[in-house]
Amino acid sequence: MLAPTIFQIEDNEDLAFFMECAVEEMDSGIRLASAPNGIEALVTLNNYQENNVVPGMILLDINLPGLSGIDLLKVIREIPVFNAVPVVVFSTSDNPMDIKMALEFGANEFQVKPLGYRALVNTLKILYAKYINSPQ
């Protein structure tokens, strides 16, 4: 099992599709894995943990059905193997309370989802450079 470069948890099928396109446009070597909700993400993360697979970065929507992004973030930060994995909350919300909670529970960053495909590609390039392909 190969570790994904980016593991996205996103319930909006259209955005998940555009994310795949944006990642492919950035670099065909980037491995993107997706989960459509918090419960499936937790199953995937447990599977990763059992197989010692660590994603390069997690993009986490905050408004997820079943298990919220904040609740999932709490679980992620309780799993030692994922402590060093950057988690970027990627949400349509710009509510200051959502931002505060996400950062308090261990998100590295809170990003409001950009409007438009070009802006999405540019945001992903910045996050990739910052968290995955940064000089050591």
| 4-22 tens-digit pLDDT | 899 999 999 999 999 999 9
CA distance 42 to 74: 11
In the prediction, which pLDDT does 106 show?
96
pLDDT band at 3 (very low <50, low <70, confident <90, very high): confident
Does 28 score more than 70 pLDDT?
yes
pLDDT at 29: 84
Element (DSSP H or E) covering residue 35: strand 32-35
**pTM of full prediction above 0.85:** yes
Distance (Å, whole) CA 122 – CA 54: 24
pLDDT tens-digit series, residues 94-136: 999 999 999 999 999 999 999 999 999 999 999 999 998 865 4
Query: What would the pLDDT profile of 61-74 be if each residue is shown by its tens digit?
Result: 999 988 999 999 99
Sheet holding 109-112, edge to edge: 32-35, 6-9, 57-60, 87-91, 109-112
Domain residues for the domain of 15 are 6-131
Rounded distance, CA 124 to CA 128, Å? 6
CATH code, domain carrying 127: 3.40.50.2300
Mean pLDDT value of segment 47-56: 93
68 and 105 Cβ atoms separated by less than 8 Å: no
Q: How far is CA 113 from CA 41, 61, 62, 131, in A?
A: 19, 9, 11, 17
Q: Is 18 exposed, middle or buried (0-12, 13-18, 19+ CB in 10 A)?
A: middle
Residue whose structure tokens are 């994922």:
82
As for how many domains the chain has, the answer is: 1
pLDDT at residue 135 in the model? 54
38 band by pLDDT with thresholds 50, 70 and 90: very high
Say if 136 falls within a structural domain: no
